Amino acid sequence: MALEALNCKECGTSYPLEARYVCEQCFGPLEVAYDFSGLDAEETRRRIQAGPQTIWRYSDFLPFESRPQTALAAGVTPLLRCDRLAERLGLGEVWVKNDAANPTHSFKDRVVTIAVAKAQELGYETVACASTGNLANAVAAHAAAAGLESYVFVPSDLEEQKILATGVYGTHLVAVDGNYDDVNRLCTELSGEHEWAFVNVNMRPYYAEGSKTVGFEIAEQLGWELPDRIVAP
């Protein structure tokens, strides 16, 4: 497997693997493109199973030239069989993925782990985000563990309990008058003014790569069998 480029999902224009999230030609979203030609399935499974008990066991399918390591890992969370729930729903089997077992207790640890590691690879010293809770906690925690400065932008009327943990990690917490859309708009503007890695703005293609690791884990934890359906809230 080899990394190729960032490709526009709408028009197919390619860009270098850098901090960029929107196509200059059509304003479509960008995604990481890989070359999977010559991939040996059995060898890949062996490499995965010999890897660390974190999402980095799937590094062959993540946007890095070499296997990165982060101070605060995520992933390989429990997959729980819930027979009574299955019976109540009238289904043969129901499994629940418990991503509350991640370092800051949400699936956001997956996306932030990848975004922060890529930010480090690209030479950034500051990471930031727009958030209404879980993402703020994850960015603050992972940045602190990596020795990076961080800024977290939230709506000023956000419930205090949603971000109580965020300040513990030493982040710069910025309350913005307005709703989440206003906060996100401000972060988009700031991403063009500062040499900061905004995990859900200019780092979004890499941020999105973290989400797919839950699918890899489900397949592996089910003995490389795919479930009939995956339901994600």
Residues 33 and 126 in one domain: no
Q: What is the DSSP letter of 28?
A: P
Considering the domain architecture, whether residues 34 and 67 belong to the same structural domain is answered as no
Q: Are residues 133 and 221 in the same domain?
A: yes
Collect the ranges in the chain with pLDDT lower than 70. Answer: 1
DSSP 22: B
Q: Are residues 61 and 167 in the same domain?
A: yes
Asked whether the whole model's pTM tops 0.85, one would answer yes
- Give the structural domain span for 194: 53-233
In a domain, 44, yes or no: no
The predicted structure's pLDDT at residue 145: 96
Residues 7 and 86 in one domain: no
Residue 72 lies in a domain: yes
pLDDT at 198: 98
Backbone φ/ψ region at 75: left (φ over 0), alpha (ψ -120 to 50), beta: left
Both 28 and 143 in a single domain? no
What is the pLDDT at residue 1? 63
User: Are 62 and 34 contained in the same domain?
Assistant: no
